[in-house]
Structure 1
């Protein structure tokens, strides 16, 4: 299935404990089915690894904490447990305006993504990728350089995805086993991880236009409470408990160079 690279939608997040999720899933399956990507898997999940960029003062973190309505996140994302030169990496810009999410992503082999981010050059890709993808990469590089951003923290978790039977743009995901570590590249070994939201998981509802009535009823039935939850911000606090008092902000070197 070809990945969607440019889209906008609404996203709502609901933290909960695992027993609550186990009750909700059967109710959702009356109207939804497992994403085809995981339907043949026993645990109905896949791995997500995200590497977030920020400056030495953690400006992206503090924008979220101060309640800025319009924010951007710059990250790399992979869906593999090991990143090799030919691993497919998504270079992503995620814009958030209240509950509206606008995401642009470009997928490249890991060796190319790393070379671009280190050398800050796109000349070899002129004519090789679409104009839209080139604009995304240019914005990523310009913002990274202008704000002196570096890869700071990696967030990993398992995701169980459901899609509505009548509208494939309506999705529900359960993100669990969320953990994080300070690193400047995809370091997927089992060392130095910190738990994020231990004992709980995040249900995310994603849709384009109108929330389906049946989904609204499920939210009410199980008394789900929507929160403004950021995996990145919670990961920063898990790895850097003193972040809010200003200590220990500058961590890590840029892509190991």
Structure 2
């Protein structure tokens, strides 16, 4: 189904801390969910092309002993991830800290103009510790780039509820970070092996009624899902990593 074009919206500041519910569904069900939600959503600011999709690239950082990976695998109630995010067609990088405090997700972000990942890492090595939460946490655990993770995202924001988002992630893949100046087309991308589309419902306070109806109507079963952990595990099947 080709959706009518509507103007994308630029995200506005929203209350701190949100909830995320994740589900893995078939491509057919994902399209049905998208069509059902259409009256309540608008495409987000990064949309590209008629499918309202765009590619997200995130380089994840971790300590030499993969402390951040292990904190998720061990199910710690309070944990965080460090990533350097960029969007297809964009010229800037975004330094992000994604924290989880029990059921609450909190993010901080710093935008950084740079030509490539090497420039970002060089800047991190010289940045004052009080520059940002990202810099402080990176230095605290001596974090370095570990994996480059990419996927295609369809994303929509709530037309009537501030801060709500509905996303569909496909073609999840990863590549080792061996050369900070290596161009994207030179990387050896590998599939994580996930079979399906990752659907995320993101909201503040309570889940809106239309999202509740999506869960009920399509019989969605919530899953615990980490793109970073899934990619690390896929890589471990190829070569040993110093996890313990």
Question: Which TM-score bucket, shorter chain as reference?
Answer: 0.7 to 0.9
Task: Give, in angstroms, the shift of residue 161 of structure 1.
Answer: 0.7
1:162 to 156, 165, 185: 156
Are residues 1:8 and 2:17 paired?
Answer: yes
Counterpart in the other structure of 2:121? 114
Structure 2 residue runs without a partner (length 5+) = 1-9
Task: Give, in angstroms, the shift of residue 47 of structure 1.
Answer: 1.0
Distance 2:11 2:164 in 1: 18
Q: Is the 8 A contact 1:34 1:162 kept in 2?
A: yes
Distance 1:231 1:148 in 2: 22
* Segment of structure 1 superposing worse, 149-158 or 8-17: 8-17
Q: Give structure 1 regions of 4+ aligned residues with deviation exceeding 6 angstroms.
A: none
Distance 2:142 2:44 in 1: 38
1:56 to 64, 77, 88: 64
Task: Give, in angstroms, the shift of residue 66 of structure 1.
Answer: 0.8
| Equivalent runs, 1:75-154 vs 2, <5 Å | 75-80=83-88, 87-110=91-114, 113-117=120-124, 119-122=125-128, 135=130, 137-154=131-148
Q: SS of 2:52's equivalent?
A: coil
Are residues 1:28 and 2:37 paired?
Answer: yes
* Segment of structure 1 superposing worse, 71-80 or 139-148: 139-148
Q: Is the 8 A contact 1:163 1:172 kept in 2?
A: yes
Q: Is the 8 A contact 1:95 1:103 kept in 2?
A: yes
Q: Is the 8 A contact 1:155 1:181 kept in 2?
A: yes
Are residues 1:233 and 2:229 paired?
Answer: yes
Distance 1:47 1:142 in 2: 28
CA 1:223–1:70: 2 relative to 1, 3 Å: same
Task: Give, in angstroms, the shift of residue 153 of structure 1.
Answer: 0.4
Task: Give, in angstroms, the shift of residue 22 of structure 1.
Answer: 1.4
CA 1:47–1:5: 2 relative to 1, 3 Å: farther
Q: SS of 1:225's equivalent?
A: coil
- Cα RMSD over matched residues? 2.5
Q: Deviations over 1:40-72 (max 9, x none)?
A: 721210110000111121111111111111101
Q: SS of 2:110's equivalent?
A: strand
Relative to the length of structure 1, the TM-score reads 0.80
